[in-house]
């Protein structure tokens, strides 16, 4: 029987010590990158533009937002870093990223994170470890310090059928992002999907889609245009929204809007007659 994947897995760790002109990818493959800056300056050039880097900042970069981190040659930075994976490590990182203003940000935990990463020493593994070791324990320490600084003592809500439904309704205006939803509950995507099916008998994406289409029908009935409804429920593509809507309600959103207009007109006539 195969061993379960460790909750924390460290691939690399090290220090960039005042190397002028130094640059490195924000992350690689499916790993996340955690960085703590102790001195100097630099810039992170990522998909959202350039972020200036100074001492006291922490960087946390997921694999889908990778960029290039570059030292200022006039004042090159000193920073500690680690590339990591692991289901629980990813969930904690997701909770921090959901609360962070950017991928690189000032943090009261910067010194604590730097200290944990410094104690990892230099490490390079071609393969992720099959069990938790000292580096993984230090990663857990760094992420816990960062999460506490970002979120305080606020605990993630317990994942139940009711709290999941409430969360999906509260985020009905956003695209369905399983990673972000799991991070809000402090669980892995696998746990999120399994508990949804066990507790509700339906997948998270299908349930969120149902809530979106129910809300879209109400918006159409109140006179919003098809394009505006699509945007309100997190669909950038109006045509795709129309296909999903028809699948749920048996008619296109334009037809639903016509019924809504006719219903509103009839209510207006009834109200005028009753005056």
pLDDT of amino acid 259: 63
Is 9-151 a domain of CATH 2.60.120.280? yes
pLDDT of amino acid 266: 46
pLDDT digit string, tens, across residues 90-146: 989 988 998 888 899 999 899 999 999 999 999 999 999 988 899 999 999 999 999
Tens-digit pLDDT string for the chain (275 aa): 355 678 999 999 999 998 888 888 888 888 999 999 998 899 999 888 899 999 999 999 998 888 899 999 888 899 999 999 998 999 899 889 988 888 999 998 999 999 999 999 999 999 999 888 999 999 999 999 999 888 775 556 788 888 888 888 888 888 888 888 888 888 888 999 999 999 999 999 999 999 999 888 888 877 788 888 888 888 989 999 999 999 999 988 887 766 655 454 444 444 444 44
Topology of domain 161-266 in CATH is: Arc Repressor Mutant, subunit A (1.10.10)
Give DSSP secondary structure letters for 115-166: HHHHHH-SEE-SS--SS--HHHHHHHHHHHHHHHHHHTTPPPPP--HHHHHH
Q: Where in the chain is the domain with CATH 1.10.10.60?
A: 161-266
pLDDT of amino acid 229: 87
What's the CA angle centered on 237, arms 232 and 243, to 5 degrees?
95
pLDDT of amino acid 1: 39
Residue 171's nearest CA partner among 219, 204, 217, 136 is 204
pTM: 0.58
> 53 phi and psi, to 5 degrees?
-115, 130
Residue 100's nearest CA partner among 167, 161, 146, 38 is 146
Q: Where in the chain is the domain with CATH 2.60.120.280?
A: 9-151
Q: How far apart, in whole angstroms, are the C-alpha atoms of residue 275 and residue 270?
A: 9
pLDDT of amino acid 4: 67
Q: How far apart, in whole angstroms, are the C-alpha atoms of residue 51 and residue 216?
A: 37
pLDDT of amino acid 265: 46
Q: How far apart, in whole angstroms, are the C-alpha atoms of residue 28 and residue 63?
A: 7
């Amino acid at each position: 029987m195969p061993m379960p994947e460790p909750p924390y897995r460290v691939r690399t760790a090290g220090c960039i010590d005042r190397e002028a002109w130094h640059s490195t990818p924000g992350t690689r493959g499916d790993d996340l990158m955690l960085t703590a800056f102790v001195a100097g300056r630099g810039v992170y050039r990522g998909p959202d533009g350039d972020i200036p880097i100074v001492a006291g900042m922490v960087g946390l970069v997921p694999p889908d937002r990778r960029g290039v981190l570059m030292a200022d040659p006039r004042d090159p930075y000193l920073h500690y870093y680690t590339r990591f994976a692991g289901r629980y490590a990813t969930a904690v990182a997701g909770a921090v990223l959901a609360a962070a203003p950017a991928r690189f940000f000032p943090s009261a935990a910067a010194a604590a994170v730097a200290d944990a990463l410094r104690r990892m020493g230099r490490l390079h593994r071609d393969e992720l470890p099959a069990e938790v070791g000292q580096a993984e324990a230090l990663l857990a320490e760094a992420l816990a310090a960062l999460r506490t600084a970002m979120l305080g003592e606020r605990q993630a809500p317990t994942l139940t059928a009711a709290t999941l439904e409430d969360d999906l309704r509260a985020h009905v205006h956003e695209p369905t992002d399983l990673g972000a939803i799991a991070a809000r509950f402090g669980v892995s995507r696998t746990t999120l999907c399994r508990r949804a099916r066990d507790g509700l008998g339906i997948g998270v994406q299908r349930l969120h889609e149902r809530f979106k289409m129910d809300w879209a029908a109400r918006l159409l009935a109140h006179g919003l245009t098809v394009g505006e409804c699509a945007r309100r429920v997190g669909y950038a593509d109006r045509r795709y929204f129309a296909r999903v809507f028809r699948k749920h309600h048996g008619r296109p959103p334009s037809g639903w809007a016509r019924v809504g207009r006719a219903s509103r007109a009839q209510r207006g006539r009834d109200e005028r007659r009753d005056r």
